[in-house]
Copies of this chain bind each other. A is one copy, B any other.
Amino acid sequence: MDSMVCAGLAREAGHRVIALTVDYNQRHRCELEAAARVVAAIGAEEHLIAPLDLRSFGGSALTSDTAVPKDGAGAAGAAGIPVTYVPARNTIFLSLALGLAEARGAKHIYVGVNALDYSGYPDCRPAFVEAFEAMANLATRAGVEGDPFRFETPLLHMTKADISREAHRLGLDAGMSWTCYDPTADGLHCGECDACRLRAKGFVEADLPDPTRYAVEPRW
């Protein structure tokens, strides 16, 4: 949903949108189908799906058979980084986005990171994105030639409730999007992982209907 709202805000800002989805052999492959639905709704110019098997790298519950926690510890704001953290995932994603942007001549790179309700992932923090932008403008032709990239993080300081409201305001059906880290075999949101709990809580706090089909009613 964060990526969907982020893309919607990029379009609203007047940009032509090139969408990048990474097929990293994530256990929640449903998000790839959701990405295609969002791209169609947004009217993106191009949708590049980049296969990159992070399962061979290991080190995360999202790319292995390690159980996704269902006890709400992450959602409750417990200390530490959750086992669903994928080593350097957002660094890898932003690097791919940088390469694609440079190849296409795009200058604005939108990323839906969120420093609130972010579950403790280090690569969602403002300082990370700022450092990435500085690095990117040393790494590339564009940076050297004086026409730098800008990394846009319109969701950075939004709550999940804010994001739900933005989806509604932009006319984007949140039911198109996928959040759950551990989908059921019949394609439902589990309702128990941190991602599901944060999603559900956002709709309630925004006083908006939640179009999501959960296997278990989320609590938080």
Q: Which residues of A contact B (CB under 8 A)?
A: 48, 50-54, 56-60, 81, 85-92, 94-96, 98-100, 102-104, 122-123, 125, 127-128, 131-132, 134-136, 138-141, 143-144
Contacts and interface: CB of A to CB of B under 8 A. Distances in A.
A140 B88 contact: yes
B59 A88 contact: no
B99 A92 contact: yes
Given A122-B141, A132-B135, A134-B135, A99 B88 contact: yes
A59 B102 contact: yes
Contact of A144 (B51, B81, B87, B102): B81
A59 to B, nearest CB: 3
Nearest to A92: B95
Contacts of A132: 135, 139
B144 A138 contact: no
A135 B138 contact: no
Contacts of A51: 51-53
A51 to B, nearest CB: 7
Contacts of A125: 138
11 contacts: A50-B57, A52-B52, A57-B99, A57-B100, A58-B103, A86-B99, A87-B100, A88-B95, A88-B140, A91-B95, A122-B144
Contacts of A52: 50-52
Chain B CB count within 10 A is highest, among A50, A51, A131, for A131
A141 B102 CA distance: 29
Contact of A131 (B54, B100, B135, B144): B135
Contact of A99 (B91, B96, B103): B91
Contacts of A60: 103
Contacts of A128: 135, 138-139
Contacts of A54: 99
Query: Which 9 pairs show the lowest CB-CB distances between chains A and B?
Result: A59-B103, A88-B99, A87-B102, A131-B135, A95-B95, A88-B98, A92-B95, A123-B139, A87-B99
